[in-house]
A and B are shown apart, each in its own frame.
Chain A
Amino acid sequence: MSVDTIVSFEEAMEKYDPVLGFEVHVELNTKSKMFSSAPNVFGDEPNTNVNEVDLGMPGVLPVLNKAAVESSIKIGLALNCKIAEYCRFARKNYFYPDTPKNFQTSQYDEPIAYDGYLDVELEDGTVFRVEIERAHMEEDAGKLTHLGGAAGRIQGADYSLVDYNRAGVPLVEIVTKPIEGAGSRAPELAKAYVAAVREIVKNLGVSDARMERGNVRCDANVSLRPHGQERFGIRSETKNVNSLRAVEHAVRYEIQRHAAVLDSGQPVVQETRHWHEDTRSTTSGRAKSDADDYRYFPEPDLVPVVASREWVEELRATLPEPPAERRKRLKEAWGYSDLEFRDVVNAGVMDSIEETIAAGASANVARKWWMGEIVGRAKVADVDPAELGVTPQIIVELNGLIEAGKINNKMASQVLDGVLAGEGTPEEIIEKRGLAVVSDDGPLLEAIDAALAAQPDVAEKIRGGKLQAIGAIVGGVMKATRGQADPGRVRELILERLGVQA
Chain B
Amino acid sequence: MAAINREDVAHLARLAHIEMSAEELDRMAGELAVIVDAVKSVSEAAGEDVPATSHPIPLNNVFREDVVGHLLSAEQALSGAPDSDDNRFKVPAILDED
A interacts with B: yes
Within 8 A of B (CB), among A64-85: 64-69
| Stretch of B19-27, B32-40, B41-49, B67-75 at the chain-chain interface | B67-75
A162-B88, A295-B15, A306-B60 in contact; A37/B67 too (CB < 8 A)? yes
Contact B93 A45 (CB under 8 A): no
Asked if A97 is at the interface of the complex by the 8 Å CB criterion, the answer is yes
Contact B61 A49 (CB under 8 A): no
Minimal beta-carbon separation of B3 from chain A (angstroms): 18
A31-B68, A32-B66, A303-B55 in contact; A291/B96 too (CB < 8 A)? yes
Which residue numbers of A lie inside 8 Å of B, CB to CB? 30-32, 37-39, 45-52, 55, 63-69, 86, 88, 93, 95-97, 145-146, 148-149, 154-155, 157-164, 239, 272, 285-286, 290-291, 293, 295, 297-300, 302-306
Contact A47 B78 (CB under 8 A): yes
Asked if B59 is at the interface of the complex by the 8 Å CB criterion, the answer is yes
Please measure, in the bound complex, the distance between the C-alpha atom of A306 and the C-alpha atom of B54, giving whole angstroms: 14
Within 8 A of A (CB), among B46-98: 54-55, 57, 59-74, 77-78, 85-98
Contact A47 B87 (CB under 8 A): yes
Contact B74 A37 (CB under 8 A): no
Contact B62 A64 (CB under 8 A): yes
Chain B interface size range: 35 or more
Describe B's contact surface by its main secondary structure.
loop
A52-B72, A303-B55 in contact; A159/B63 too (CB < 8 A)? no
Pairs A–B under 8 Å by Cβ, sample size 23? A31-B66, A32-B67, A37-B67, A39-B71, A50-B72, A52-B72, A55-B72, A63-B62, A64-B62, A65-B66, A69-B63, A88-B54, A96-B94, A97-B89, A146-B93, A159-B93, A163-B88, A164-B77, A290-B15, A300-B55, A303-B55, A303-B57, A306-B61
Contact B64 A31 (CB under 8 A): no
List residues of chain A with CB within 8 A of the CB of B54. Answer: 88, 297-300, 304
